[in-house]
Structure 1
């Protein structure tokens, strides 16, 4: 975590970010989000993503305490090429339940989710693995095996910055407690 904080840069400064040993507590600005056009008609590029430039194939993991409680509270990992091409994977509170999902944006955003109410209050890890023209997103709660969330396209020649993120589209006061962050080699297999 300390390496990311020292070498990374925020896409948008959060209200507050406090590093305490290996724990990073990030308080999101009300109205922060990442979305482009689809269905809603708006563009939001105000998420709080702490990113580092990557090269070639890689994987990043972010772990956090899942205590989201308001509509669209969210945290996880973020891969950014530019403001029109990016991928976020994580857990978002939507329609009264924790939802594991991903948003893939190539000019327009799409969204996939699956409910994980049993993860509430636990430490969740989200992993994005980039190899060639693919990003594989997996996630799990402590004590569980990783589950596949999404396989998405990302141009093999794209220059990518990657790291952790959070956002609070509908409220003030969301503080995400990130308990770990790791980077390394990509996954060796899809299954």
Structure 2
């Protein structure tokens, strides 16, 4: 699967405000104001309005999404999305929180959790998020430009679950966020958790 395959054969969980295919093969996705993915924890609300372009993912495999996020407003976000259902999903990527770009993941099995680490110099640069699924685990790694991979999260996922995966973006607090997606790749899972 590549970006062209995903745009032709994938489906949007929620249609974005606009999608533009660029001559260089990249995809510009403009998020609706109020779009987000979250369930209950701490905030008390449920949002199932993220803009995720997804397609079936094998039980053993990895999906990588490369994007450039020029976000500036609270909770502007982009990355990779793995969806089992409205109550079971994982999103991972870069999100602006309290004025700082954060690398993080939200894992949701009925209720959401959230882990982040600051990456203030990642905005406006090509970021790749990799989610590798094998057995009962999803291993999330990330890098900016061609730097070394960073381990972001190891999360549980039912090994028998039917999963759709692909790119996503959301803009919970404003209109006008446009994210440039430059690549989506599907391949084999990581050989090991640790090098």
Q: Which TM class, normalised by the smaller chain length?
A: over 0.9
- Alpha-carbon displacement from aligned partner over 1:46-82 (angstroms, at most 9, x marks no partner): 0000000122211011111131110000000000000
Match of 1:149 in 2: 152
Match of 1:111 in 2: 114
Equivalent of 2:11, from 9, 12, 26? 9
DSSP 3-state at the match of 2:121: helix
Tell me the TM-score normalised to structure 1 length: 0.98
Shift of 1:120: 2.1
Check the 8 A contact 2:69/2:77 in 1, yes or no: no
- Cα distance in 2, alignment partners of residues 16 and 114 from structure 1: 30
Match of 1:175 in 2: 178
Equivalent of 1:22, from 20, 25, 40? 25
- Following superposition, which runs of at least 4 residues in structure 1 exceed 4 angstroms of deviation? none
- Alpha-carbon displacement from aligned partner over 1:126-176 (angstroms, at most 9, x marks no partner): 010000100000000003101000000000111100000000000000000
CA RMSD, 1 decimal: 0.7
Please, which runs of 5 or more residues in structure 2 have no aligned partner? Answer: none
Check the 8 A contact 2:131/2:140 in 1, yes or no: yes
- Alpha-carbon displacement from aligned partner over 1:13-47 (angstroms, at most 9, x marks no partner): 00001112420000000000000000000000000
Match of 1:53 in 2: 56
Match of 2:135 in 1: 132
Query: After superposition, where does 1:64-75 map in structure 2 within 5 Å?
Result: 64-75=67-78
DSSP 3-state at the match of 1:31: coil
- Cα distance in 2, alignment partners of residues 110 and 77 from structure 1: 16
Query: After superposition, where does 1:71-86 map in structure 2 within 5 Å?
Result: 71-86=74-89
Equivalent of 2:123, from 120, 126, 139? 120
- Cα distance in 2, alignment partners of residues 119 and 16 from structure 1: 24
Comparing 86-95 and 20-29, the one that deviates more: 20-29
- Alpha-carbon displacement from aligned partner over 1:68-127 (angstroms, at most 9, x marks no partner): 110000000000000000000000000010000000000000000000002122110001
Tell me the TM-score normalised to structure 2 length: 0.96
